[in-house]
Chain A
């Protein structure tokens, strides 16, 4: 490294020295901005320059243009090599992009909505493809891959058991606490088991499971398929005459559809357990008493109404994860984006579908 870049102004002459190179350009630019250039003729001597690169030449060119714009005249003393570099820098035009008008708020809203609409249509398209493929497979069950299915079942289902159990237990506990405080005011604590059943079995249990699985599994599907896409593994499968659908998507989809209802049952049970614990601690009623309070028939209904949602959630989560993974374009950043999108879309979809279910149940008077 040579001496740092310097400029010195004495009367009508400016002396440049040192290394006018990229590392020093920022400091040099600030220094040049501060210079109050004299009117009229300016002598710039660059013979003492130890080095010049395109960035430095660009600064020098800007200095020259500044003087000329102010009506002055410049006399440059440069060695031949540096002069050529300066010419190259002078040919560089300002980008037109600078003059591009900023997007208005309204057009941004429009564009984003349009993009979301296309995203949704893309998903529907993918769903259609999968259903068609699936129907074709039903005719020939020999293409099934039990080993892959079991493997996915372990990854997406069995491994999620501890976290689902613990979290829904805690949620059940908290809800029971809140409910019993509220019910206490009216002396209606006997209704605690009933209310708890509705919330845990019908609403919160399925939702907790779906959101957990969306976070755990949709992301891992997207990352797995995305990485395989980038490594050309998906292409390799195709050229080996193996459909990625059979090998990757179908086992994941079926495993999740199978696992999610079971996890939902688990979540309901451990949530109820948490509630029973609160009931025992606060109201000093044993678990048997708690169970006896459960209105018969009623809890079965809630249980089934909750359970019906699980496979739908599962299918949507698996499909969103797979679709985002398969859409990855080249590059590691693409995988990151795909996982994020997968999780966000999956959770969003789960909550929206849950709302739709609620509306339907209500309309049906269930």
Chain B
């Protein structure tokens, strides 16, 4: 498999195998994510993109293979080291995953309060800057239940970057956003990346946005990496898998359906 050239990798996966309830999610995945760049991970729904991010942060353990972040093996390290590593990683959850008994402001302030001894006025300053950059400064005192899905994700984004981590993992940052906030978020990810020189990993289906923001993209389907390259290269790619994905064709080798039995068999009579 091709690798992004000339870059020291920040994350490296090798021969990764993972299954859930006996169903293999990854057969043999190897990929590398260059330091200081924006890398996209694309693939059809349900192929395991979220799972991949969880493996990287050590929330799940692979059956086989190695996961190195910053040269450090994630699969074998002790709890303390793992928690130390996680502090340096920002994670945007697909659904925001805000703490529901804290308001927006406190959610963003939470990592700072937990991990630093900063004075309140500095925390206030940092939180407000981050909220401003996602356009939600006015929503600081709302509770998570009062936010829309897109707003929750933007708060999640602010929380993910509030500690200025070296590595940010974004799980679908663009889903459910209107075109305007989408544009803002795309710019924001780019800016954060360039200003702080951090490594960003974006999981997304939005080919347009990914093309704008990513330096490199991996496409996963069917438990394997099927392609890797710059967004332009992928557009020109000949393989039917990649063509189907990049050109939004409904027919092709990538299955739309979750693995299942024969359709008629599932339509059978209700047992009495």
Residues of chain A having any CB pair with chain B under 8 Å: 54, 58, 88-89, 91-95, 97-98, 227-228, 231-233, 235-243
Contacts and interface: CB of A to CB of B under 8 A. Distances in A.
Contact of A92 (B54, B110, B265): B265
Given A233-B97, A239-B89, A240-B111, A88 B264 contact: yes
A91 B83 CA distance: 55
B84 A241 contact: yes
A233 B115 contact: no
B135 to A, nearest CB: 22
B257 interface: no
Contacts of B114: 240-242
11 contacts: A91-B264, A95-B268, A95-B271, A232-B95, A232-B97, A233-B100, A236-B97, A238-B86, A239-B91, A242-B114, A243-B79
A92 B270 CA distance: 11
B156 to A, nearest CB: 8
Interface in B80-97: 83-84, 86-87, 89, 91, 93, 95, 97
B59 A238 contact: yes
B115 A236 contact: no
Contacts of A242: 83, 114
Nearest to A95: B271
Given A231-B100, A232-B93, A239 B272 contact: no
A249 B87 CA distance: 21
B272 A98 contact: yes
Nearest to A242: B114
Interface string B94-114: 010111100000000011001
Interface of B: 54, 57, 59, 79, 83-84, 86-87, 89, 91, 93, 95, 97-100, 110-111, 114-115, 159, 264-265, 267-269, 271-272
Contact of B267 (A92, A233, A240): A92
Contact of A236 (B89, B99, B264): B99
Nearest to B94: A232
B144 to A, nearest CB: 9
A94 B271 CA distance: 8
Nearest to A239: B91
Given A239-B57, A242-B114, A98 B100 contact: no
Contact of A231 (B57, B97, B269, B272): B97
A233 B271 contact: no
A154 to B, nearest CB: 14
A93 B115 CA distance: 60
B115 to A, nearest CB: 7
Given A92-B265, A239-B89, A240-B86, 14 more contacts: A58-B269, A92-B267, A227-B100, A228-B100, A235-B59, A236-B98, A236-B99, A239-B86, A239-B91, A239-B93, A240-B91, A240-B114, A241-B111, A241-B114
A92 B97 CA distance: 42
A240 B89 CA distance: 8
A351 to B, nearest CB: 33
A178 to B, nearest CB: 45
B269 A92 contact: yes
Contacts of A232: 93, 95, 97
B128 to A, nearest CB: 20
A52 to B, nearest CB: 15
B267 A241 contact: no
Contacts of B115: 241
A54 B268 CA distance: 10
A349 B264 CA distance: 49
B124 to A, nearest CB: 19
A236 B120 CA distance: 23
Contacts of A231: 95, 97-98, 100
